Amino acid sequence: MALQYGYPKTRKRLFWYDTVMNKSLELSDHHFIRNVLLEEGIDSDAYPFNIPSVSKLEDINFDRAVTFLVGENGSGKSTIIEAIATAAGFNSEGGSKNMNFSTRDTTSSLSKKIRLVQGITKPRTGYFLRAESFYNVASNIESLDASGGGALIGANYGNVPLHHQSHGESFLALINNRFGPNGLYILDEPEAALSPERQLSLLIRIKQLVVEGSQFIIATHSPVLLACPEATIYELSKDGVAKTDYEETRHYNFMLDFLSNHQAYTRRLTGE
């Protein structure tokens, strides 16, 4: 099913959501990455190992087809996601395993100090979406296609060049065209370019791909994405790593409180 680009009315929107989300109440047990092990003898006072969540990395088990890392800025989400993606063979700036380019190497040493515990089968495909550097991925695709010498890579992302679309549209083109069954998808803040409704589209697409045997590891701030049924959520903080329920996350509770009391918040901002 292609991602939808419009929702006529709330009732129809919820019906469509329920239809997809209830396809399978049990998430796939087809996990490509099961957990992560830290190398022994690491200097815990050195970056990034002095980040509490990084030092507790082995507490994160990928026991569901969808695993979320959530936490405040600086909690270590992107550092961990980048390290897992790089250790799994993806380019640190994003893309598929076939992409090999570097705009500016800012990769931490964490990827060299971890070992991924993998399942008995390998993914058919995969992708590392790093929101902040997807522009660089699109530029690399455009450059490779312009050089000739093979099939056009951009065709795998739809019929419209990524740079001819808005940031959000290019994300949707990637997710709708490039992502497929039995894939390993590591996403760093994929909601960054998406409106709340498009985040719902992404959530539904994630569930579709899970039913088709895919695994997702996602760092996010989005309460919409965190609502994914039967996902595992780890909250990262100065205290380390803790598995938590959706309605216990700080992101959910803050957003709920803000929407329920937004006038009180704005009065404080204006000094009233």
Per residue in 99-145, pLDDT tens?
665 556 666 789 899 999 998 889 999 989 887 766 576 666 677 66
* One-letter amino acid for residue 265 of the chain: Y
pLDDT number for residue 30: 57
Let me know the angle formed at the C-alpha of 54 by 53 and 58, rounded to the nearest 5 degrees: 90
Q: Where is pLDDT greater, at 105 or 91?
A: 91
User: Where residue 153 falls among pLDDT bands split at 50, 70, 90?
Assistant: low
pLDDT number for residue 7: 43
Kind of pairing between the strands at 66-71 and 125-130 = unpaired
Question: Quick one: CA dihedral 73, 76, 79, 84, positive or negative?
Answer: negative
Match 């450059």 to its residue by tokens: 143
% of the chain surpassing 70 pLDDT: 79
pLDDT digits (tens, 9 = 90+) for 19-76: 555 544 344 455 799 999 998 888 888 889 999 999 999 999 998 999 999 999 999 9
Give yes or no for a contact between 209 and 172, defined as CB atoms under 8 angstroms apart: no
Q: What average pLDDT is seen over the chain? A: 82
Question: Quick one: CA dihedral 86, 91, 94, 95, positive or negative?
Answer: negative
pLDDT number for residue 26: 43
d(CA 42, CA 140): 35
d(CA 13, CA 7): 6
In order, the DSSP letters of 48-100 are TTTSHHHHTGGG-B--SSEEEEEESTTSSHHHHHHHHHHHTT--TTSB-TT--
Q: Which residues contact 261 (CB under 8 A, 6 or more apart)?
A: none
* One-letter amino acid for residue 83 of the chain: A
User: Where residue 201 falls among pLDDT bands split at 50, 70, 90?
Assistant: very high
**Which structural domains are found in the chain, ordered by start?**
10-270 (3.40.50)
* Angle formed by the axes of helices 196-211 and 10-21, nearest 10°: 20
Task: Say yes or no to pLDDT of 84 above 50.
Answer: yes
Q: Three-class SS of residue 180? A: coil
The pTM of the full predicted model, rounded to 2 decimals, is 0.84
The structure tokens listed for 51 are 């980040």
Q: Three-class SS of residue 250? A: helix
d(CA 144, CA 154): 9
Task: Say yes or no to pLDDT of 214 above 90.
Answer: yes
